[in-house]
Structure formats: structure tokens, C-alpha cells
């Protein structure tokens, strides 16, 4: 499987991007709710409603020349803008904690490894990196490229430290393995101890 870009499905499986999805979706929801609310409460167009979200002082200027439920619109603006501020802080906290927690570095390293796996052809896939899997990988390493599929984080780290490409996942889920780029390799041994 040759991949020129990372598919959208791969992003959903990434922890950091999954964490960012919720606050970004909440931000988008609040923007849509703000625009819809301004349009319903006072009947302004989408562009004016978006402008009111960007510049709340324009609400005051609008009501100097137009009649309408000024107090209701201003109250709604306060609620929506407060929500946008809270969600913006949520997004910022997620990015900062990922940066200082090392998660961004880990995500980038994983994406780079996935690109390397996608470029491999006729490689060996080893399911599990326990004692048996480690022995087989060491013996096959000189002959062919080896990709290890491992469910445990410690096994993934050991395989990475030993210089192998690693997919953190369950080898029993064949469709996920195929999507992840290991489907073009030849399964050599299933080294998992549990069936």
C-alpha cells in the first residue's frame, strides 16, 4: 500500500488529535450557534452576525440606527462570547499540555514511523514483541525489513529501542493493520501468547 498522504482516518486514531477534536468542535458549534442566534433574534444576515462575533462593539453601533431587542441581543452576545473564550482556553490548554507533556513530539515520531512503514515493500510483520517475538525479529532483521505490531506500550518501546518499525495496535484487528500500512508485508510468525 503506497500512501502519498496520511488518510483522515489515521488522524482520528491519534490521541492528540482526538483530544483536540472536542474543543475545536465545541468552538465551531458556538460560532454556528452564535450566527444562528443573532439571525433568529434580530434577523441580521450571516456576515453581520459573524462580524458581531468578531467585534461585539458593532452591536451597539447597529442599534444606534436600528430598532429591535437590543438587550436580548447583547445578552445573547455575552453568553456566546463567554463560551468562545472558555473553549479558546480549552484549546490552548490542550495544546500547551501536549507540548510540555511531550505528546506532540511523540505524535510526530509516530507519524514519521508510519510513513517509513508505508514505504516498505515485502517486509516481515511480527505480531507481538515478547520473548519469542523479540527473538524472531532479531533473527529476521538482517534479511528483511521488520515491522512489529504490539498492543503493550512497553513492548512498543522495546521494539523501537531495538531499531524496528512499530505499530501500536491489536494484530487481531486485520482491517486496522491493513489501513496502517502493514498489509503489504508478509506475516512471518504470530508470537502472541494468548490466542
Classified as helix, coil or strand, 126 is: strand
* The residue to which cell 511531550 is assigned: 102
Classified as helix, coil or strand, 22 is: helix
Among 27-41, 148-162, 170-184, the least confident range: 170-184
DSSP 151: S
Which sequence spans correspond to the domains of the chain?
8-100, 120-190
Q: What CATH number is given for 120-190 in this structure?
A: 3.40.50.720
Calculate what percentage of the chain has a pLDDT beyond 90. 23
Q: What CATH number is given for 8-100 in this structure?
A: 1.10.287
For residue 119, how far is the Cα from the chain centroid?
A: 22
Task: Average the pLDDT over 124-141 and give the result.
Answer: 82
Residue 164 · residue 147 · CB < 8 Å = yes
Which pTM value belongs to this model?
A: 0.50
pLDDT at 27: 95
Provide the pLDDT confidence category of residue 1 given band limits of 50, 70 and 90: very low
C-alpha cell at 187: 506475516
C-alpha cell at 77: 452576545
C-alpha cell at 135: 527473538
Burial of 66 (0-12, 13-18, 19+ CB in 10 A): exposed
pLDDT at 34: 93
Amino acid at each position: 500500500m503506497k500512501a502519498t498522504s496520511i488518510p483522515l482516518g489515521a488522524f482520528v486514531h491519534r490521541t492528540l488529535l482526538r483530544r483536540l477534536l472536542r474543543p475545536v468542535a465545541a468552538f465551531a458549534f458556538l460560532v454556528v450557534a452564535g450566527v444562528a442566534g443573532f439571525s433568529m433574534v434580530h434577523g441580521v444576515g450571516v456576515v453581520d452576525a459573524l462580524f458581531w462575533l468578531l467585534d461585539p462593539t458593532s452591536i451597539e453601533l447597529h442599534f444606534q440606527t436600528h430598532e429591535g431587542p437590543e438587550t436580548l441581543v447583547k445578552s445573547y452576545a455575552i453568553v456566546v462570547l463567554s463560551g468562545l473564550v472558555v473553549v479558546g482556553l480549552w484549546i490552548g490548554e490542550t495544546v500547551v499540555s501536549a507540548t510540555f507533556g511531550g505528546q506532540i513530539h511523540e505524535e510526530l515520531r509516530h507519524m514519521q514511523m508510519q510513513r517509513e512503514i508505508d514505504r516498505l515493500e515485502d517486509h516481515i510483520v511480527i505480531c507481538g514483541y515478547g520473548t519469542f517475538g523479540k527473538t524472531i525479529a532479531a533473527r529476521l532483521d538482517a534479511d528483511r525489513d521488520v515491522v512489529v505490531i504490539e498492543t503493550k506500550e512497553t513492548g512498543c518501546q522495546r521494539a523501537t529501542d531495538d531499531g524496528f518499525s512499530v505499530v501500536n495496535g491489536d494484530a487481531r484487528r486485520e482491517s486496522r493493520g491493513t489501513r496502517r500500512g502493514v498489509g503489504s508485508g508478509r506475516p512471518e510468525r504470530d508470537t502472541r501468547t494468548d490466542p
